[in-house]
Amino acid sequence: MTVKHTSTSGAFFATLKRDLLIAYKRKNDLLNPFMFFLIVASLFPIAISPDPEQLSSISSGVLWIAALLASLLAMDNLYRSDYEDGSLELLLLSPQPLYFMVLAKNLSHWLVSGLPVVLVSPLIAYMLKLPAESYLPLFLSLLLGTPVLSLLGSIGVALTVGLGSRGLILAVITLPMSVPVLIFGTLAVQEPRFGAELAGYLAILGAMLFFTITLAPLASAAALRISVN
C-alpha cells in the first residue's frame, strides 16, 4: 500500500512539474489570459462611464466576468498539446489513477492562468473604484472561485478535445456550469458592504471548490476516455 501511494504521488508531482515547465516555455500561455483580463477590465470604464460611483457599483461584476472570460480563453490549452503529440493516450494508459493525473493538470492550469488574475485583482479593483473594504472579499472569493472555473472548464475541454473547432461548443458547455460561481463570487464582494456576512458566501464558494475537486476530475477523466477512444 505504501509503495502504491508513493508512486501515485510521484506521478502527480511529475505531471504537475511537466505542465508547469511546458507553460513556462510557451510565454503566450502565461501572458494571454492575464493580458486578456487586464484589457477586458480596462475597457469597461471606456464603454460605460468613468463616473466613480457608477464604476463602484458594477466593478465586482466586471472583475468576475473578466476572470471567467480569461479562464475560458486559457481552457483550450489544457489538453490540446497532449492530444496532438500523443502523450494524452499514454496518460490514459498509465497504471496510476487518472483522477490524480487530471487533477495535476488542472492545478497546473490554474497556477498559470488563474493565480495571476487573483494576484492582480486588487490593482484592477482600485482602477475600477471598488471600495477599499471590498479588496479582501474580492481576493478571497477569486482565490476560491477561479479553481472552480478551471475544474468545471476541464470537463468541457475533455469532452471536445478530439474536435477540430471547439471554441463555441466549449463555451456552450462551460458557461452554464460557471454561472453559480459567478453569482456567489459577485455577491461575496458586494453584499458585505451592506452588512451581510462574508463568511457565508466564502463557505458556499469553499463548498463548490470541495465538490468540484472531488467530482470534476472524475468527470474529466471519463470524458477523456470517451473522446480519445
Phi, psi of 95 (to 5 degrees): -70, -15
Is the pLDDT reported for residue 120 higher than 80? Answer: yes
Q: Please state the pTM of the whole predicted model.
A: 0.86
Sequence ranges of the domains in the chain = 2-228
pLDDT at 94: 80
Q: How far apart are CA 91 and CA 52, in angstroms?
A: 51
- Which element (helix H / strand E) includes 35? helix 27-47
Q: How far apart are CA 28 and CA 179, in angstroms?
A: 27
5 pLDDT band (50/70/90 cuts)?
very low
In the chain the first and final C-alpha atoms are separated, in Å, by 30
Residue with cell 471590498: 134
What is the mean pLDDT of the segment spanning 9-14? 85
| Range name among 1-15, 18-32, 147-161 with the lowest pLDDT average | 1-15
Is the pLDDT reported for residue 73 higher than 50? Answer: yes
Residue 98 neighbours by CB under 8 Å, 6+ apart: 91, 92, 221, 224, 225
pLDDT per position as a tens digit, 92-118 = 888 888 899 899 999 988 998 889 889
CA 42 to chain centre: 20
How many CB atoms neighbour CB 138 within 10 A?
Answer: 25
- The SS3 assignment for 166 reads coil
Query: Cell triple for residue 50?
Result: 468613468
CA distances from 144 to 49, 92, 189, 212 (A): 30, 29, 13, 11
CA 145 to chain centre: 8
